[in-house]
């Protein structure tokens, strides 16, 4: 009853690589459970450092019902300067708590889980807003770990893709992702020399950067009907957001922390520019039109980490890939007999 398991990042990566298409369905179900009120998802808490303005560690507590009945918290660090030393930007752990007793029962290395739920959300949003799983050209801006995972999930979901057009401010990063797409995923990919050349003519645009403030300011960059997956949340100027159809994962969560949609709210003083949530699109309650770009901005809900983390944990237990910590709890009875 009071066991405690650790799931390593290596195991999490193995389970995820075996199950990407299934995980998109799990993320979809978690969104619907959240939309239906079968969750508790408080605001994320940002720990920032005066001497490191670009760095942060975020706490995402949540509870997810919908057949999961699990609580937990993801503690994820984002230190962008790590990449200068060939160290990944993000590191994370996920703690899962039993809903009946409140006792934690597992700790998972969660950078893999966080990347997977982000990528699954992106591909799910792409399918819902694009209306099909076929794209002649997908532009990807930013060529880091999240972008690589997004490519993995597009391919695992069986998309018919003509080519990926990849752009990064550091050409070497884009070249590495091009090689990965061609050699590992067996899909066409090319590096572009500018943001504009990547985006022009693309059916879908994926923004997966570490930008802290908007740099996309050209109101004509995105075309009517073009689907923009605003994964990194802060790339787009508020004026462009106000001129687009906007779908978010959760209105209250997404319109915080100076995201592009939050800046848009501050600019206009209301939230009327938000069409609705992705769950409402899935349910057919919201359908953005073709006259403006369609922008999906997912803030990243803790309930998604719980859904994906619980899936990884169950699979790790069933396949004997967890590490049990005997005696983790020193006392499991209130009164000693």
DSSP collapsed to 3 states, the chain: CCCCEEECHHHHHHHHHHCHHHHHHHHHHHHHHHHCCCEECCCCEEEEECCEEEEEEEEEEEEECCCCCEEEEEEEEECHHHHHHCCCCEEEEEEEEECCCCCEEEEEECHHHHHHHHHHHHHHHHHHHHCCCEEEEEEEECCCHHHHHHHHHHHHCCCEEEEEEEECCCHHHHHHHHHHHHHCCCCCEEECCCHHHHHCCCCEEEECCCCCCCCECCCCCCCCCCEEEECCCCCECHHHHHCCEEEECCHHHHCCCCCHHHHHHHHHCCCCCEEEEHHHHHCCCCCCCCCCCEEEECCCCHHHHHHHHHHHHHHHHHCCCCEECCCCCCCCCCCCC
Compute the mean pLDDT over every residue in the chain, rounded to the nearest whole number. Answer: 96
Cα–Cα distance measured from residue 57 to residue 25, given in angstroms and rounded to the nearest whole number: 28
For the stretch 22-33, pLDDT in tens is: 999 999 999 999
Q: Considering only CA atoms, give the Rg of the chain.
A: 20
- Which pair of tokens denotes residue 255? 């319109």
Statement: residue 41 has pLDDT above 80: yes
- Residue 333 has what pLDDT? 82
Q: What is the token pair recorded at 154?
A: 């597009």
The rounded percent of the chain whose pLDDT value lies above 70 is 99
Return the pLDDT at 337: 64
> Does the structure show a pLDDT above 80 at 177?
yes
1, pLDDT greater than 70? no
- Confidence (pLDDT) at 331: 81
Q: Which pair of structure tokens corresponds to residue 56?
A: 């942060």
Res. 74: pLDDT tops 80: yes
Please, which pLDDT band fits residue 83 given cuts at 50, 70 and 90? confident
Rounded to whole angstroms, the Cα distance separating 228 from 160 reads 18
> Do residues 214 and 263 touch, judged by C-beta distance below 8 A?
yes
Mean pLDDT of 139-156: 97
Q: Is 336's pLDDT higher than 80?
A: no
Tokens representing 314 are 């169950």
Residue scoring higher pLDDT (140 or 337): 140
Q: Give the pLDDT of residue 132.
A: 95
As given in the structure block, the two tokens for residue 44 are 């994320």
Q: What is the pTM of this model?
A: 0.94
Q: Given pLDDT bands bounded at 50, 70 and 90, which one contains residue 67?
A: confident
Tell me the mean pLDDT in the region 129-156: 97
Residue 218 makes CB contacts below 8 A (sequence gap 6+) with 196, 240
pLDDT band at 241 (very low <50, low <70, confident <90, very high): very high
């Amino acid at each position: 009853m009071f066991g405690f398991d650790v799931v390593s990042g290596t195991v999490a990566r193995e389970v995820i690589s075996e199950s990407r298409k299934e995980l998109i369905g799990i993320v979809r179900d978690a969104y619907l459970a959240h939309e239906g009120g079968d969750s508790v998802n408080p605001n994320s808490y940002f720990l920032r450092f005066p001497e490191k303005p670009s760095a942060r560690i975020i706490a995402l507590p949540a509870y997810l019902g919908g057949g999961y009945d699990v609580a937990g918290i993801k503690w994820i660090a984002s230190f962008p300067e790590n990449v200068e030393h060939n160290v990944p930007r993000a590191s994370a752990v996920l703690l899962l708590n039993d809903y009946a007793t409140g006792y934690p029962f597992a700790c998972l290395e969660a950078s893999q889980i966080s990347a997977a739920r982000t990528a699954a959300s992106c591909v799910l949003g792409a399918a819902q807003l694009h209306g099909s799983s076929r794209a002649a050209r997908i532009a990807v801006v930013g060529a880091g770990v999240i972008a690589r995972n997004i490519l993995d999930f597009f391919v695992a979901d069986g998309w018919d893709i003509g080519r990926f057009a990849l752009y990064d401010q550091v050409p070497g990063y884009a070249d590495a992702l091009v090689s990965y797409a061609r050699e590992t995923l067996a899909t066409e990919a090319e590096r572009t020399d500018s943001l504009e050349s990547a985006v022009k003519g693309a059916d879908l645009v994926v923004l997966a950067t570490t930008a802290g403030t908007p740099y996309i300011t050209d109101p004509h960059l995105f075309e009517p009907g073009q689907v923009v997956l605003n994964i990194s949340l802060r790339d787009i100027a508020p004026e462009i957001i106000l001129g687009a159809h906007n779908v978010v994962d959760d209105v209250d969560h997404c319109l915080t922390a100076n995201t592009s949609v939050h800046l848009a709210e501050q600019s206009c003083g209301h939230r009327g520019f938000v069409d609705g949530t992705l769950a409402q699109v899935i349910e057919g309650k919201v359908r953005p039109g073709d006259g403006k770009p369609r922008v999906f901005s997912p803030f990243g809900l803790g309930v998604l980490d719980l859904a994906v983390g619980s899936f990884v944990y169950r699979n790790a237990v069933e396949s004997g890939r967890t590490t049990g910590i005997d005696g983790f709890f020193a006392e499991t009875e209130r009164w000693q007999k």
